[in-house]
């Protein structure tokens, strides 16, 4: 007993990481099927460790053990993964990564950090601490996507090519201004307004915060200039000014937004403001946004002349100067890096997280990709590009 106590004290003194079995039995469910593990889940310094063989074989991989150097080779289709006992280095194909913890042998079984599986295969790992369940599922269509909700639609037919939680009602921030733009271009088509019309900015519009071009009370701007600022940077002051110009007041314009949503069959949507603020009763879904976008770009293709530009220069007419050039850079990062991009709009609020709607056209096919609720700004663009890549690679519009 004294010897074991001495060893434990020595481990703690030397700072050697202590491994412990989970205090509660944890089920591991892979693609809906519970798998049997040769030993319980192990926790080491908040890293979850699981059986190498059990997890990889559940995905149809072959696991080979080399006794001479205590290495492990995992093979699946054309992919090879190389692991080494007592090492944190793993080689996946030609890429080397650093694991959260080294590969270990416990009771004759090799164990690895749980998140390694998502580095190797396009899977989503979810840990349910309340019910003591780990769920590992293949991601839809082999795409590793983290968005709360997304949808990919072919614009001409309206065919849904891919979706995840398409009807979940969410906050989407600036994305709601797609409805503003739809109503603006309908008004232009109906000749109730024109691009050349001059709008006088109200005190309420000028006082609107958030993203803006800092319009002043009484300032006069053309409808075209206000559209540019809404498209390029999601200008809230311009959105309010246009709402008042078309409907007489922001409240009346909100009523028009909701009537239009109902007429389009947008059952997951309700508007309470024109700028996308987080409000309890304002929400929409990826499905409904795809409906809005399709209506906008198919009925009013002129919008793409605005949304496809990386930069616009507008002229402000302030109290201090009659000619104040203002450069507007499009928030849509896909315009610089994704061939065929034609639009459209990004959004963020504390509740919505990072959101993006992208449109792109290649070889006669025009796609609409909607990504809602990711954690990082770059991720919304990466996942939107993944959706578009999937669509262009796997579908073609027959002429």
Q: Which of 130, 120, 21 is nearest to 79 (CA)?
A: 120
What band does 18 get if pLDDT is binned at 50, 70 and 90?
low
Per-residue pLDDT reduced to its tens digit, 346-365: 999 999 999 999 999 999 89
pLDDT at residue 57 in the model = 93
Chain CA centroid to CA 107, Å: 42
The pTM is what? 0.70
What band does 4 get if pLDDT is binned at 50, 70 and 90?
very low
User: Which run of H or E residues covers position 81?
Assistant: strand 79-84
How distant, in Å, are the alpha carbons of 161, 171, 201, 342, 393 from that of 384? 13, 18, 36, 13, 14
Using DSSP, state whether 223 is helix, strand or coil: helix
Q: What percent of the chain has pLDDT over 90?
A: 72
pLDDT at residue 143 in the model = 74
Per-residue pLDDT reduced to its tens digit, 293-307: 999 999 999 999 999
Examine the pLDDT at 126 and tell me if it is beyond 70.
yes
pLDDT at residue 335 in the model = 95
Examine the pLDDT at 136 and tell me if it is beyond 80.
yes
Most confident of 22-26, 34-38, 211-215, 242-246: 242-246
Q: Which of 71, 53, 26 is nearest to 116 (CA)?
A: 53
Which three-class secondary structure string do you get for 104-148?
EEECCEEEEECCHHHHHCCEEEEEECCCCEEEEEECHHHCCCCCC
The 10 Å Cβ neighbour count of residue 265 is 10
Examine the pLDDT at 6 and tell me if it is beyond 50.
no
End-to-end CA distance of the chain: 81
Average pLDDT value over all residues in the chain: 90
The domain locations on the chain are 44-138, 149-394
What homologous superfamily does CATH list for 149-394? DD-peptidase/beta-lactamase superfamily (3.40.710.10)
Per-residue pLDDT reduced to its tens digit, 55-84: 999 988 999 999 999 999 999 877 899 999
What fold, for 44-138?
A: Copper Amine Oxidase; Chain A, domain 1 (3.30.457)
Region 333-338 average pLDDT: 94
Contacts of 27 (CB under 8 A, 6+ apart): 34, 132, 133, 134
Examine the pLDDT at 141 and tell me if it is beyond 80.
no
Per-residue pLDDT reduced to its tens digit, 92-125: 988 899 999 999 999 999 999 999 998 888 788 8
Identical fold at 44-138 and 149-394?
no
């Amino acid at each position: 007993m004294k010897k074991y106590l001495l060893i434990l004290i020595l481990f703690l003194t030397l700072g050697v990481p202590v491994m412990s079995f989970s205090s509660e039995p944890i089920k591991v469910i892979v693609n809906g099927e519970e798998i049997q593990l040769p030993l319980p889940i192990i926790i080491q310094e908040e890293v979850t460790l699981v059986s190498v063989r059990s997890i990889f074989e559940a995905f149809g991989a072959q696991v080979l053990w080399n006794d001479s150097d205590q290495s492990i080779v995992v093979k699946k289709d054309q992919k090879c993964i190389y692991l080494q006992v007592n090492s944190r280095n793993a080689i996946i194909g030609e890429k080397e990564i650093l694991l959260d913890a080294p590969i270990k042998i416990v009771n004759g079984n090799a164990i690895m950090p749980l998140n390694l599986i998502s580095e190797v295969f396009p899977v989503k790992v979810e840990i349910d601490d309340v019910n003591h369940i780990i769920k590992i599922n293949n991601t839809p269509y082999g795409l590793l996507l983290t968005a709360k909700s997304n949808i990919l639609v072919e614009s001409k037919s309206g065919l849904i090519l891919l979706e995840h939680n398409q009807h979940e009602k969410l906050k989407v921030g600036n994305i709601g201004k797609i409805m503003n733009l739809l109503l603006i271009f309908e008004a232009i088509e109906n000749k109730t307004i024109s691009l050349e019309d001059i709008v006088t900015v109200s005190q309420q519009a000028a006082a609107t915060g958030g993203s803006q071009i800092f319009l002043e009370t009484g300032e006069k701007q053309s409808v075209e200039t206000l559209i540019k600022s809404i498209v390029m940077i999601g200008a809230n002051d311009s959105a309010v000014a246009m709402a008042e110009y078309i409907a007489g007041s922001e409240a009346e314009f909100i009523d028009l937004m909701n009537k239009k949503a109902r007429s389009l069959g947008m059952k997951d949507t309700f508007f309470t403001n024109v700028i996308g603020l987080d409000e309890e009763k304002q929400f929409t879904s990826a499905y409904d946004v795809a409906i809005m976008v399709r209506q906008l770009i198919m009925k009013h293709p002129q919008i793409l002349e605005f949304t496809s530009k990386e930069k616009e220069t507008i002229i402000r007419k302030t109290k201090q100067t009659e000619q104040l050039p203002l450069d507007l850079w499009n928030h849509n990062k896909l315009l610089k890096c994704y061939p065929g991009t034609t639009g459209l709009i990004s959004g963020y609020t504390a509740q919505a997280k990072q959101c993006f709607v992208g449109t792109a056209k290649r070889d006669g096919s025009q796609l609409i990709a909607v990504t809602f609720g990711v954690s990082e700004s770059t991720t919304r663009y990466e996942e939107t590009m993944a959706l578009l890549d999937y669509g262009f690679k796997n579908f073609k519009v027959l002429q």
